[in-house]
């Protein structure tokens, strides 16, 4: 593990995990660190260190140092249909009394039209950016 912390080709996650395990270990250099101190020093949560230590005991060093593979597929809330309907709405004439659509107005209109049960202005902004749609 000491080689991993000194090797410049080690990934950041593997480096932090190796460093955390080394600091938690009582070695020739002195006493082991407390989990809270290790977490503060490395900028991770104590819960992460506890999980890391448990994986090390249960499954071995290689499994503990590697990032665990995702077991479920990410849930797609806003897909292509949402993007298409949002783009069509953004390209439509602005509401009465408005010169143009704003991201907030689009978010409110999407909920009003029941295209989405709820949507944040940031989601609208990201979707418009992804489809290269400009509100100007």
**pLDDT tens-digit map of 80-103:** 899 999 999 999 999 999 999 999
Yes or no: say if 14 and 66 are a contact pair by the CB < 8 Å rule: yes
| Phi-psi domain of 17 (left: phi exceeds 0; alpha: psi -120 through 50; beta: other) | alpha
pTM: 0.50
Task: Please check the confidence at residue 63 and state whether its pLDDT lies above 80.
Answer: yes
| Phi-psi domain of 60 (left: phi exceeds 0; alpha: psi -120 through 50; beta: other) | left
Among the ranges given (2-6, 72-76, 78-82, 87-91), the one the predictor scored with the smallest mean pLDDT:
2-6
Residue 108, classed as helix, strand or coil, is: helix
Q: How far apart are CA 128 and CA 95, in angstroms?
A: 18
The residues facing 25 across adjacent strands are: none
């Amino acid at each position: 593990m000491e080689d991993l912390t000194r090797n410049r080709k080690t990934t950041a996650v593997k480096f932090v995990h190796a460093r955390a395990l080394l600091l938690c270990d009582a070695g020739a250099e002195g006493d082991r660190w407390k989990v809270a101190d290790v977490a503060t020093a490395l900028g991770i949560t104590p819960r992460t260190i506890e999980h890391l230590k448990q994986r090390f005991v249960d499954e071995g060093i290689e499994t503990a140092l590697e990032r665990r593979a995702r077991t479920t597929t990410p849930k797609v809330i806003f897909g292509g249909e949402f993007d298409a309907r949002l783009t069509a709405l953004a390209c439509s004439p602005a509401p009465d009394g408005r010169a143009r659509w704003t991201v907030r107005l689009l978010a409110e209109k999407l909920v009003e039209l029941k295209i989405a049960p709820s949507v944040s202005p940031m989601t609208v902004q990201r979707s418009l950016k992804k489809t290269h749609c400009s509100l100007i």
